[in-house]
Structure 1
């Protein structure tokens, strides 16, 4: 039979006192451990250095630190932080007042719009990353030509196109007549000669096989304007036009008018972009379909029938 000591016996018993002491030590260690743990949690929050507070919302130093650039002086950064704090505070205060004073239905509508916008941001970024990784950007000339022939009627010009060659000479240029003759005849020997003295020209454009918009021509030849371009930009026309600084000599070899079909050589960069956009749309459409199909198979998505 085990005889339990009375309370008095426990108090006088050496072993009981030791057990009680050990128990108290354990409780003390447990409490200290909890205090240390809580203190570390509070310290973790307090490590953030607050710059300002509006109600229960804090602006911390680390929120602004990334906005300070290396080229800012100490005075500039101080002014920037001050302005940022005031701007942040005004927005927070207005937000708080709006939540109190706007009708409930407006708040619900705005919350829905914010959620939709957040969803769009995430999904758009994700889709763009997938498209960038998977999209095939290689397009052959044959593919471009085929698309051009198929959609030719849709490629109408909204601006006149010109094929021409021209040079800009200083007003004091001594051998203008020789340059004029060679610009008109345009034999291989003429091209070589003009190339050899090209350093004397203010401007030059000898590649008359490429198409150039009329607005670009007017930029390069300042004395030519929208009012007088019809006098100079005619097929097979040779022109001489000058301002106070330069004389421009040019030969127009071909012209396409507004509403003419754009030539393939001019429109192919746009066609390439159209093909890439179509591929992108097709890929995104397929991706969305595949995501839904996969979710249905995994029982992650279902539509409930309306029982009414």
Structure 2
């Protein structure tokens, strides 16, 4: 049998041994988690780690070893700089400023998620087809809002080198522009420096100035006239141009010219209406399922 003194010594020994064991376990766990965190890490700033998988998506397959090494080094340095600045900011900025930024980040996260979800719902549910009747009805109703801000023209033109040998034949074909003429011009099109045969398309005068430099805002009245053919030349080449039709500044734009704009407006309105309906349905459903309720104060 143990004496009272021996029992006391044993108890102290057991207590000390248990404390040592706990300490060793805590140390081991700490080492384990530390090793786990550091495993595969490329860099550390405080408690933040940068891993290979964080960088990998930004690297391209065609990178050489030296380029990859340089990219990784720069990425690590930039990451470390941001982490260190963030740490300093959290220490040195006023608490109210930090709280303000946290709220902004939280709001941005919510906006980002909800916007992406709404876009996904709209792309799945909203009708994206605009009929010819819808286009025409909107155009007739809103005609006054489609007055031209600049002259537009329907034209076809060719730019040929200054020393082109068959210029007269090209001029004749471009003026006639029957099926056989178009086939001929297409067959020698590789000899042209530029060509534009779609004379049903309305083109802004600003674009014409870019494509045919001898025509300028100052002399456009001379050249941009309905049913006119002309030949112009500069150091770059010879421009052969046939104007089919012209609409002047402040005239109402043709439907074909504003069709893309009308489609965008109608689709935007349809999207807004769809989202409003969707938000109403979501709230109604949440109220019905008792997921949403508003508390009123007496």
TM-score interval, normalised by the smaller of the two chains: 0.7 to 0.9
- 2:148 maps to 157
- 2:118 maps to 127
In the TM superposition, what are the counterparts of 1:1-308 in structure 2 within 5 Å? Answer: 42=33, 45-46=36-37, 48-174=39-165, 176-177=167-168, 180=171, 186=176, 188=178, 192-193=180-181, 195-197=183-185, 199=188, 202=192, 203-306=194-297
Which is further off, 141-150 or 196-205? 196-205
Verify the 8 A CA contact 2:153 2:205 in the aligned structure 1. yes
Q: CA deviation at 1:122?
A: 0.7
Q: Max radius of gyration: which structure?
A: 1
Q: CA deviation at 1:284?
A: 1.1
Taking the aligned partners of 2:251 and 2:81, their CA distance within structure 1 comes to 57
Q: CA deviation at 1:251?
A: 2.8
- After superposition, the Cα gap between the structure-2 partners of 1:72 and 1:246, relative to the gap in structure 1 and judged at 3 Å, is closer
Verify the 8 A CA contact 1:292 1:301 in the aligned structure 2. yes
Which is further off, 105-114 or 198-207? 198-207
List runs of 5+ in structure 1 lacking aligned partners: 1-6, 9-30
Q: CA deviation at 1:206?
A: 4.0
Q: CA deviation at 1:47?
A: 7.4
- After superposition, the Cα gap between the structure-2 partners of 1:249 and 1:103, relative to the gap in structure 1 and judged at 3 Å, is same
Taking the aligned partners of 2:173 and 2:53, their CA distance within structure 1 comes to 70
Taking the aligned partners of 2:56 and 2:168, their CA distance within structure 1 comes to 68
Count the aligned residue pairs: 273
Query: TM-score normalised to the size of structure 1?
Result: 0.77
Q: CA deviation at 1:179?
A: 5.1
- After superposition, the Cα gap between the structure-2 partners of 1:221 and 1:301, relative to the gap in structure 1 and judged at 3 Å, is same
Which is further off, 164-173 or 143-152? 164-173
Q: 1:66 aligns to what SS in structure 2? A: helix
- After superposition, the Cα gap between the structure-2 partners of 1:67 and 1:176, relative to the gap in structure 1 and judged at 3 Å, is closer
Q: CA deviation at 1:117?
A: 0.4
Taking the aligned partners of 1:204 and 1:145, their CA distance within structure 2 comes to 32
Taking the aligned partners of 2:279 and 2:95, their CA distance within structure 1 comes to 35
- After superposition, the Cα gap between the structure-2 partners of 1:48 and 1:258, relative to the gap in structure 1 and judged at 3 Å, is farther
- After superposition, the Cα gap between the structure-2 partners of 1:113 and 1:152, relative to the gap in structure 1 and judged at 3 Å, is same
Verify the 8 A CA contact 1:48 1:62 in the aligned structure 2. no
Verify the 8 A CA contact 2:43 2:76 in the aligned structure 1. yes
